[in-house]
């Protein structure tokens, strides 16, 4: 295929436009830059020169490459210069009337075959295209900031865009070393459409004081491996920008989960726009700084002292139980591994030994440390042996009747004053607590799988949990090198309440034929830096497990937007449960 678009005009050379101009020139194409006026043009060129000089310093570019690419870029203040381009990319501020007027003028200036692309984030590409007499040659091309390092480009087609124009722009994106995905014209497109709904829920969670900003952010980083927590990310994006994008999304979807959380409006009204103003959800050292300053309240908080924990018991013999035993034993705690039979306990111990051996083989654990950890674990088939434990962690089947029965049993056996913890991910901790005569001693410790590797523990206090019980578990998490976050006893805790609605939104996007599985996964990995795309994650977690969590969330909050997507229900009904059955959103069967 012939190289598309040998000459590209970029109108508006701010944050995005300057980055796009450089990327295009790097591919050897001629770039006609157009700014609002002569002084803006001078400043824009200076910005491009400075940015490319930095790239040379950081060895992303050689001095020769810089000279060559700068020679390809001209910057002026006359829009008529765009007439010589094969493609015009518009990157002016996010204002519909400004963009429509610009497109109407470009339509008059440019030959009829010129393709016109808008860089909008949240405005309707269709409405911008309607300002021209060539809507079939108008589309969206959504780059991500910073353009030089972000690989994703969303190529946005309206109902009128010709497939050929879209394919040529995708080809150009590939030529710039980017990965194009194809999206329809909907506020937020793929990546922001999924991202901002989630950010909004995180803001609402903070606003309702369900958890602190630090705990919400740490939970999503450590529980999901995200590069940044949602509130820190909102500060980086700009609270005003986020609010505008959400308004646009709500306008189209009428989904209440897209209606900007009231706290966003309050922050905007107060001029607290995030990093750029020095304060948003966090306070920064100075406007523009990325360094958040600790606030006094957080530093001052003196807590009740916890209870002493020497011996630990873990009930269960599955993946979580075995992993949790490993965590405690490696930290030097004697652990009773209590299963329904001695045989099951022994088998779990063998699993644990295997896991420790793997760590030794990978050089993460010494042989002595492995032997020491194993020596601390005693397998037992009798819960009676838990009588003297200071903490018992329950990790049996995710079934309320089973858990309540176990808590009733523990209540009769375990000494008074011991802490009883459940690892449930979706059942109410309080229902476990009320199966005992000592609900004040019962708490949730939500570990993540695999427990030895995942740093996060959600510490879930019920309305009846005693303060020193919460303190005990928080202290203990520190001792076993886990990062504890605190939250209340409601469906999903922090991580699942923010993660699963996002996964459900992704399924809905697919179900509506808005984008493909591959494009959605690519968009989230390359546009947001997520370690896995939503469909990869769903297939790993299991579609049945995901469906259950979504149903629990919907049942708890009764929010229409949280209802599980029918496509997920259908796949579960068909037995497509993800990796474990060989088929989920993707086919994992060996060919």
Ligand X SMILES: NC(=O)c1ccc[n+]([C@@H]2O[C@H](COP(=O)([O-])OP(=O)(O)OC[C@H]3O[C@@H](n4cnc5c(N)ncnc54)[C@H](O)[C@@H]3O)[C@@H](O)[C@H]2O)c1
Query: Crossing angle, helix 319-330 and helix 367-375, to 10 degrees?
Result: 110
Closer Cβ to ligand X, 76 or 334, answer by number: 76
Closer Cβ to ligand X, 120 or 470, answer by number: 120
- For residue 302, the SS3 value is coil
Structure tokens at 264: 């966003």
- State the DSSP H helix or E strand holding residue 400, giving kind and residue range, or none if neither: helix 400-413
Query: Crossing angle, helix 63-72 and helix 15-26, to 10 degrees?
Result: 110
Provide the minimum distance between the beta carbon of 276 and ligand X in the complex, in angstroms, as a whole number: 11
Provide the minimum distance between the beta carbon of 42 and ligand X in the complex, in angstroms, as a whole number: 11
Q: Which DSSP string corresponds to 326-340?
A: HHHHHTT--EEEE-S
Q: Alpha-carbon distance 205 to 166, whole Å? A: 39
**Residues paired with 73 in a beta bridge:** 31
Provide the minimum distance between the beta carbon of 36 and ligand X in the complex, in angstroms, as a whole number: 4
Contact 195, 189 (CB under 8 A): no
Q: Alpha-carbon distance 256 to 324, whole Å? A: 39
Among all chains, which residue has been given the structure tokens 């994703």? 152
Closer Cβ to ligand X, 118 or 462, answer by number: 118
Helices (H), 148-287: 163-175, 191-207, 213-224, 230-237, 239-253, 262-269
Closer Cβ to ligand X, 15 or 67, answer by number: 15
Provide the minimum distance between the beta carbon of 187 and ligand X in the complex, in angstroms, as a whole number: 12
Closer Cβ to ligand X, 16 or 314, answer by number: 16
Closer Cβ to ligand X, 78 or 587, answer by number: 78
Closer Cβ to ligand X, 10 or 211, answer by number: 10
Provide the minimum distance between the beta carbon of 417 and ligand X in the complex, in angstroms, as a whole number: 54
Closest by CA position to 198, among listed 427, 494, 532 = 494
Q: Residue 119 phi/psi, 5° resolution?
A: -95, 15
Among all chains, which residue has been given the structure tokens 């150009």? 172
Provide the minimum distance between the beta carbon of 221 and ligand X in the complex, in angstroms, as a whole number: 21
Q: Alpha-carbon distance 396 to 454, whole Å? A: 19
Provide the minimum distance between the beta carbon of 109 and ligand X in the complex, in angstroms, as a whole number: 12
The contact set with ligand X (CB under 6 A) reads 11-17, 34-36, 40, 44, 91-94, 102, 119-121, 142-145
Provide the minimum distance between the beta carbon of 90 and ligand X in the complex, in angstroms, as a whole number: 8
What order of strands is seen across the sheet that includes strand 138-143?
73-76, 30-34, 7-11, 87-90, 115-118, 138-143, 152-157, 179-184
Q: Alpha-carbon distance 374 to 480, whole Å? A: 16
Provide the minimum distance between the beta carbon of 270 and ligand X in the complex, in angstroms, as a whole number: 22
Closer Cβ to ligand X, 30 or 142, answer by number: 142
Query: Crossing angle, helix 517-528 and helix 534-541, to 10 degrees?
Result: 110
Structure tokens at 371: 């032997």
Render the burial of 342-358: b for 16+ CB within 10 Å, e for the rest: eebbeebbebbeebbee
Provide the minimum distance between the beta carbon of 488 and ligand X in the complex, in angstroms, as a whole number: 35
Closer Cβ to ligand X, 36 or 567, answer by number: 36
Q: Alpha-carbon distance 386 to 330, whole Å? A: 20
Closer Cβ to ligand X, 47 or 134, answer by number: 47
Closer Cβ to ligand X, 241 or 424, answer by number: 241
Closer Cβ to ligand X, 110 or 356, answer by number: 110
Closer Cβ to ligand X, 110 or 572, answer by number: 110
DSSP state of 175: H
What order of strands is seen across the sheet that includes strand 335-338?
377-380, 335-338, 312-315, 391-394, 419-422, 442-447, 456-461, 483-488
Find all residues with CB under 8 Å of 357, minimum gap 6, and list them: 370
Closest by CA position to 177, among listed 23, 69, 39 = 23
Provide the minimum distance between the beta carbon of 34 and ligand X in the complex, in angstroms, as a whole number: 5
Which single residue brings its beta carbon nearest to ligand X? 14
């Amino acid at each position: 295929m012939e190289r598309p678009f040998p000459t590209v005009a970029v109108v508006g050379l701010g944050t995005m436009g300057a980055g796009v101009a450089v990327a295009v020139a790097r591919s050897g194409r001629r770039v006609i830059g157009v700014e609002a006026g002569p002084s803006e043009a001078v400043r824009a060129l200076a910005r491009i020169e400075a940015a490319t000089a930095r790239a040379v310093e950081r060895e992303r570019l050689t001095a020769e490459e810089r000279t060559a690419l700068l020679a390809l870029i001209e910057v002026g203040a006359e829009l008529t210069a765009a007439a010589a381009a094969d493609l015009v990319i518009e990157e002016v501020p996010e204002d519909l009337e400004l963009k429509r007027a610009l497109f109407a003028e470009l339509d008059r200036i440019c030959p009829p075959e010129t393709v016109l692309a808008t860089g909008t984030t949240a405005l309707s590409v269709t409405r911008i295209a309607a300002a021209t007499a060539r809507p079939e040659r108008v589309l969206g091309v959504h780059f991500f900031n910073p353009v030089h390092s972000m690989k994703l480009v969303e190529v946005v087609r309206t109902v009128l865009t010709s497939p050929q124009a879209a394919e040529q722009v995708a080809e150009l994106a590939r030529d710039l070393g980017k990965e194009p995905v194809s999206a329809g014209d909907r506020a937020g497109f793929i990546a922001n459409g999924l991202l901002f709904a989630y950010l909004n829920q995180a803001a609402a969670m903070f606003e309702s004081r369900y958890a602190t900003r630090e705990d919400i952010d740490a939970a999503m980083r450590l529980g999901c491996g995200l590069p940044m927590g949602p509130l820190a990310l909102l500060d980086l994006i700009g609270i005003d920008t986020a609010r505008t994008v959400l308004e646009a999304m709500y306008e189209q979807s009428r989904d209440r989960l897209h209606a900007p959380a009231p706290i966003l409006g309050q922050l905007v009204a107060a001029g607290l726009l995030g990093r750029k103003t020095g304060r948003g959800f966090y306070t920064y050292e100075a406007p523009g700084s990325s360094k958040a300053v600790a606030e006094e309240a957080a530093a001052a908080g003196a807590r009740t002292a916890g209870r002493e924990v020497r011996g630990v018991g873990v009930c269960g013999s599955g993946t979580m139980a075995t992993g949790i035993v490993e965590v405690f034993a490696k930290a030097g705690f004697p652990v009773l591994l209590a299963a329904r039979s001695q045989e099951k306990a022994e088998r779990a111990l063998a699993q644990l030994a295997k896991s420790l051996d793997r760590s030794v083989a990978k050089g993460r654990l010494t042989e002595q440390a492995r032997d020491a950890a194993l020596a601390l674990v005693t397998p037992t088939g009798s819960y009676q042996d838990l009588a003297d434990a200071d903490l018992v962690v329950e990790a049996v089947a995710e079934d309320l009747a089973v858990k309540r029965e176990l808590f009733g049993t523990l209540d009769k056996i375990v000494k008074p004053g011991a802490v009883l913890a459940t690892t449930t991910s979706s059942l109410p901790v309080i229902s476990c607590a009320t199966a005992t005569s000592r609900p004040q001693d019962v708490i949730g410790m939500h570990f993540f799988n695999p427990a030895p590797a995942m740093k996060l523990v959600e510490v879930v206090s019920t309305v009846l949990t005693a303060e020193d019980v919460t303190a005990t578990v928080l202290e203990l998490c520190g001792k076993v090198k886990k990062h504890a976050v605190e939250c209340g006893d409601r469906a999903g805790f922090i991580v699942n309440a923010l993660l699963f609605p996002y996964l459900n939104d992704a399924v809905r996007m697919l179900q509506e034929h808005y984008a493909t599985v591959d494009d959605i996964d690519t968009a989230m990995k390359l546009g947001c830096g997520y370690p896995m795309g939503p469909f990869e994650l769903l297939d790993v977690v299991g579609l049945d497990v995901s469906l259950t969590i979504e149903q629990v969330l919907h049942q708890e909050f009764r929010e229409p937007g949280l209802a599980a997507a029918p496509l997920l229900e259908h796949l579960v009904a068909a037995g497509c449960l993800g990796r474990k059955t060989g088929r989920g959103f993707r086919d994992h069967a060996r060919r």
